[in-house]
């Protein structure tokens, strides 16, 4: 499915006015890591100011245009619609403007006025402006994935979140086959704001089986922006780790007088490991002003095998997306209306106790963008509804459990869990250039999230295993009753270009977050079992006031210094907040089974909520230094050390005598039982624990480094280049111990080759052993490993074929953030000691795999 297109706030800036002239001498935004994009791309540039048009061209085509803004003043362009190489697009835009261009690097172009300009004017080229993203404040560590780099990545992976894996500072937690969770600089999941075509979606599942990135098929992504750490407040709100903005492709309209435009894309893939396959189709029809699009995608996989050729249970999935979009363009106004649905009939979760047996989502959204004399206006409105059903998948109905007196029956659905989720919201933002130097951005957004979760009763009958579980009747267990989390955010941001060398950005933001939930209900009937523990727990929870209100203030400030053409520095500080989520506040039962069902951490432990949680407040500091050759063409190196101090970081505490939320006085007996290992929070000695959420101050620090360089270029041998990404993060709780899921030192080194239509790479990935683990969760250590991947692609006209060989050496490895391997464990065995369901296995990564994919555009 694709969703509505949105503008990543703060990245497109008005240039059709003298503001752009104020950017004299501002120097290039560092290009995205990766290799130059020389391929044909779709452009949709409206008629109007030439400066604006050039800016859009630079942005879409990945070009840097270097010119004195004075030469474009007052000039108009007829606009551009369709597919062009960057150079052809530039020629079209310049038309009869009287400007000429000169390529001074594979991506760098200078513009000059033709003959009438006195020579001394042209000679002032070192006082130049650069269009593209640099016109707005673009953080040095901001990464864009688009164009051919994105296409190649789409052919390699099956999960949208995994498109992000090559970005410095970004890692993913395994979760399901199409539901990986992003982690930025050690801050995971809901600490990262994810915007999908302008929609903010909160996962409708205690195990986060349907995180936001799972709602767009990777083939329907047109562009991804990732902002780490110090992100602008306009992109903030629940984003203490960073922000990921995913957009479907921009609408392309027909050229004036050229009739109807028909275009589209067809793609397919097959991956040997797990026999995964899928395909997608995109078709569009447009005239000058209206465009209609349809996109559909399907993908599925069986369980994959690891490096030892063992099948990893509960890793299969099937996923379908459909969407339609209607877009209107008139003068400087663009309106997009989009609707779609997602259907996941099955998705296994090897690190969770449950599997997704159905997920249906429908959404609709509207996006308006307009250019006015005073600036830009951008508005979004969206609604999303999810119907989610979890149960224990067949891989987890482990035969060992079903002994002779407890026969296995595949049809046993023994832990049905239903969730209904809704996301409704808007975001309005105005961008107002003011004078020669300043730009102001103000905005307001609302996100209403509501969740219902109930677990239907399982009626007992003689001899069935379900009776052994016991007590799951006669009522539905209500975990969340019309729970809500509503956030209203308002922000103001100021960008200033002080001089060619100095730029700054300052923003403040206020969010009010209100959470609430209605009364809950246990399985047991309060009248029939008035003394039942969950009956008493539910009554105690219902007697409480559930409403929580949080007022949070964010500040984000950064300064960019560009002393010359080949170096840039940035220093930033951000104070950012995240109010606790519904699944951190409200899961109310300390019943062993109820707790086992809750936890999105991939650790196999059981969790209970904490209604008294305070918001997390992060203080992020980062410094980036970037160096490159003067044309930013041959080589680049960029390093960002960072530090975060997080007040009230929401972490875990063991249940036990000292835990006010889950202790023996409350009837919580799952620790220290006579005859069992007397470890607080643990039921018998199997390595899994019962935990509650709690606030603890924490600090995280680390560094990201990326570099690329051209190596060799030759007519016969082609072009060789190399790029590398390194990262390390360390996290500690101030009251002792490590934070969970911190990525050890890791490095990727890639040797890239391009010649004609061929594009190939050999990649080596090194991951150090993970030894700084969190003892509270019984996080397992992982050994170090080296993986080798190879890929090649050939593009001929409109057809691209990609072939990949992943994990060439068939190495058995365990990604440090994958989580535990519980894919064949009986789901409720968290309390088991006499069965082999122990927390002593990491989830293995995929063994050797060959994949082939094609993309046909027309």
Interacting residues toward Cu ion by CB under 5 A: 205, 207, 209, 390
Cβ distance to Cu ion smaller for residue 389 or 837:
389
**Shortest Cβ distance from residue 669 to Cu ion (Å)?**
27
Residue 425's SS3 state is strand
Is the Cβ of residue 235 or residue 354 nearer to Cu ion in the bound state? 354
Q: Considering beta carbons, is residue 128 or 478 the nearer one to Cu ion? A: 478
Nearer to Cu ion, 155 or 209 (CB): 209
Nearer to Cu ion, 209 or 595 (CB): 209
- Check residue 32 and report its DSSP letter: P
Q: Which phi and psi angles does 602 have, rounded to 5°?
A: 70, 20
Structure tokens given for 339 = 């609707």
CB of residue 388 to Cu ion, shortest distance in Å: 6
Contact status, residue 444 vs residue 490, Cβ threshold 8 Å: yes
CB atoms within 10 A of CB 257: 6
Q: How far apart (Å, rounded) are the C-alpha atoms in residues 64 and 107?
A: 6
Q: Residue 207 or residue 746: which is nearer to Cu ion going by CB?
A: 207
Q: Shortest distance, CB of residue 9 to Cu ion, whole angstroms? A: 31
Residue with smallest beta-carbon separation from Cu ion: 205
What tokens were used for 70? 């004075």
Least spacing, CB of residue 162 vs Cu ion, in Å: 20
- Name which of 318 and 614 has its Cβ closer to Cu ion: 318
Q: What is the CA radius of gyration of the chain?
A: 27
- Smallest separation (angstroms) from Cu ion to the CB of 562: 47
Helix (H, G, I), strand (E, B) or coil at 225: strand
To Cu ion, the closest distance from the beta carbon of 586 in angstroms equals 16
C-alpha to C-alpha distances, 346 to 6, 310, 469, nearest whole angstrom: 30, 21, 24
Residue closer to Cu ion (CB basis): 355 or 554: 355
Residue 390 vs 828, nearer CB to Cu ion:
390
Scored b (16 or more CB within 10 A) or e, 771-780 reads ebbbebbbbb
Supply 267's token pair.
């793609």
Cβ 417 to Cu ion, closest distance in Å? 7
CB of 359 to Cu ion, least distance (A): 8
Within 632-757, strands assigned E span: 635-654, 690-714, 718-733, 746-755
- Would you give the DSSP letter of residue 501? S
| Angle, in degrees to the nearest 10, between helices 86-94 and 50-61 | 180
The nearer residue to Cu ion, 418 or 501, going by C-beta atoms, is 418
Q: Least distance (Å) from Cu ion to the CB of residue 591? A: 18
Q: How far is the CB of 571 from Cu ion (least distance, A)?
A: 42
In the bound state with Cu ion, the residue whose beta carbon lies nearer, of 353 and 753, is 353
- Distance in angstroms (rounded) separating the CA atoms of residues 75 and 463: 83
Name the minimum Å distance from CB 825 to Cu ion: 17
**Alpha-carbon gap, residue 452 to 479, rounded angstroms:** 8
State how far the Cα of 104 lies from the Cα of 108, in Å rounded to an integer: 6
Minimum CB–partner distance for residue 204 and Cu ion (Å): 8
Instruction: Specify the length of the chain in residues.
Output: 858
The residue among 201 and 209 lying less far from Cu ion, judged by its C-beta, is 209
Neighbours of 44 (CB within 10 A): 20
Handedness of CA 271, 276, 277, 278 (dihedral sign): negative
Strand arrangement of the beta sheet that strand 192-196 belongs to: 143-146, 223-228, 242-247, 192-196, 199-200
Considering beta carbons, is residue 327 or 600 the nearer one to Cu ion?
600
What does the DSSP assignment read for 178-200?
A: T--EEEETTEEGGGEEEEETTEE
Sheet order of strands, 181-184 included? 170-173, 181-184, 187-188
Read off the DSSP letter of residue 305: B
Among 841, 688, 695, 677, smallest CA distance to 777 is for 688
Token match 């069965």: residue? 835
Tell me how far, at minimum, the Cβ of 206 lies from Cu ion, in Å: 6
């Amino acid at each position: 499915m694709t969703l509505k297109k949105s503008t990543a706030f703060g990245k497109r800036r008005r240039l059709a006015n003298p503001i752009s002239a104020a950017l004299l001498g501002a120097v290039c935004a560092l290009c995205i890591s990766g290799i130059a994009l020389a391929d044909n791309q779709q452009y949709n540039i409206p008629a109007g100011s030439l400066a604006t048009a050039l800016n859009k061209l630079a942005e879409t085509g990945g070009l840097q245009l270097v010119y004195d803004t004075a030469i474009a003043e007052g000039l108009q362009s007829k606009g551009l619609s369709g597919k062009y190489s960057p150079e052809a697009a530039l020629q079209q835009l310049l038309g009869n403007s009287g400007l000429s261009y000169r390529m001074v690097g594979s991506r760098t172009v200078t513009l000059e006025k033709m003959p009438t300009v006195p020579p001394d004017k042209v000679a002032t080229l070192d006082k130049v402006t650069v269009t593209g993203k640099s016109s707005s404040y673009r953080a040095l560590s901001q990464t864009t994935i688009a164009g051919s780099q994105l296409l190649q990545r789409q052919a390699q992976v099956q999960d949208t979140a995994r498109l992000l894996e090559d970005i410095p500072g970004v890692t993913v937690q395994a979760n399901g086959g199409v539901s990986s969770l992003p982690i930025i600089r050690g801050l995971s999941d809901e600490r990262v704001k994810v915007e999908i075509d302008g929609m903010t979606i909160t996962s409708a599942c205690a195990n986060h089986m349907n995180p936001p990135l799972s709602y767009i098929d990777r083939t329907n992504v047109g562009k991804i922006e990732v902002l780490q750490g110090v992100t602008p407040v306009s992109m903030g709100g629940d984003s203490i780790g960073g922000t990921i903005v995913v957009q479907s492709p921009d609408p392309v309209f027909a050229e004036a007088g050229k009739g109807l435009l028909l275009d589209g894309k067809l793609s397919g893939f097959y991956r040997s490991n797990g026999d995964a396959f899928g395909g997608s189709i995109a078709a569009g029809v447009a005239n000058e002003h209206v465009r209609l699009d349809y996109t559909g995608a399907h993908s599925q996989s069986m369980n994959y095998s690891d490096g030892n050729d063992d099948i990893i249970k509960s890793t299969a999935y099937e996923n379908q997306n459909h969407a339609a979009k209607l877009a209107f363009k008139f003068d400087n106004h663009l309106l997009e209306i989009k609707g779609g649905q997602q259907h996941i009939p099955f998705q296994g979760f090897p690190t969770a106790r449950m599997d997704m047996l159905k997920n249906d989502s429908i959404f609709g959204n509207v996006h308006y963008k307009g250019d006015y004399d005073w600036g830009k206006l951008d508005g979004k409105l969206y609604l999303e509804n999810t119907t989610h059903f979890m149960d224990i998948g067949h891989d987890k109905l482990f035969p060992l459990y079903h002994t002779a007196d407890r026969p296995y029956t595949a049809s046993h659905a023994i832990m049905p869990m239903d969730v209904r989720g809704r996301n409704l919201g808007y975001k309005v933002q105005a961008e107002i250039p003011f004078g020669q130097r300043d730009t102001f951005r103000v905005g307001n957004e609302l996100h209403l999230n509501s969740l219902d979760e109930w677990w239907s009763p399982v009626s007992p009958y003689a001899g069935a295993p379900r009776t052994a579980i016991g007590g799951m009747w006669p009522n539905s267990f209500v975990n969340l009753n019309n729970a809500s989390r509503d956030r209203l955010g308002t922000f103001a941001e100021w960008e200033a270009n002080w001089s060619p060398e100095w730029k700054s950005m300052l923003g403040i933001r206020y969010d009010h977050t209100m959470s609430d939930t209605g009364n809950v209900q246990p399985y047991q009937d309060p009248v029939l079992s008035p003394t039942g523990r969950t009956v008493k727990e539910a009554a105690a929870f219902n007697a409480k006031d559930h409403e929580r209100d949080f007022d949070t203030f964010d500040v984000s400030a950064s300064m960019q210094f560009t002393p010359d053409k080949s170096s840039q520095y940035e220093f930033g500080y951000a104070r950012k907040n995240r109010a606790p989520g519904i699944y951190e506040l409200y899961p109310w039962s300390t019943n062993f089974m109820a707790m086992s069902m809750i936890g999105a951490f991939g650790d196999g432990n059981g969790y209970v909520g904490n209604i008294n949680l305070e918001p997390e407040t992060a203080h992020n500091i980062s410094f980036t230094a970037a160096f490159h050759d003067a044309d930013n063409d041959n080589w680049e190196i960029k390093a960002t050390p960072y530090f975060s101090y997080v007040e009230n970081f929401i972490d875990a505490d063991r249940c036990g005598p000292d835990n006010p939320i889950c202790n023996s006085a409350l009837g919580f007996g799952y620790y220290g039982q006579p005859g069992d290992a007397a470890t607080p929070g643990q039921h018998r000695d199997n390595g899994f624990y019962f935990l509650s959420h709690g606030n603890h101050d924490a600090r995280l620090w680390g560094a990201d480094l990326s570099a690329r360089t051209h190596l060799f270029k030759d007519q016969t041998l082609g072009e060789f280049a190399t790029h590398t990404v390194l990262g390390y993060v360390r996290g500690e709780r101030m009251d002792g111990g490590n934070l969970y899921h911190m990525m050890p030192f890791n490095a990727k080194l890639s040797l890239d080759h391009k010649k004609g239509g061929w594009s190939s790479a050999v990649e080596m990935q090194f991951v150090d052993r993970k030894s700084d683990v969190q003892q509270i969760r019984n996080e397992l250590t992982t050994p170090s490993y080296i993986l080798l991947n190879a890929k090649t692609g050939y593009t001929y006209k409109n057809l691209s074929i990609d072939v990949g060989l992943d994990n060439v050496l068939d190495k058995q490895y365990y990604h440090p953030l994958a989580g535990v391997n519980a894919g064949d464990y009986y789901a409720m065995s968290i309390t088991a000691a006499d069965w082999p369901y122990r927390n002593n296995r990491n989830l293995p990564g995929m063994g050797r795999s060959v994949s082939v994919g094609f993309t046909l555009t027309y």
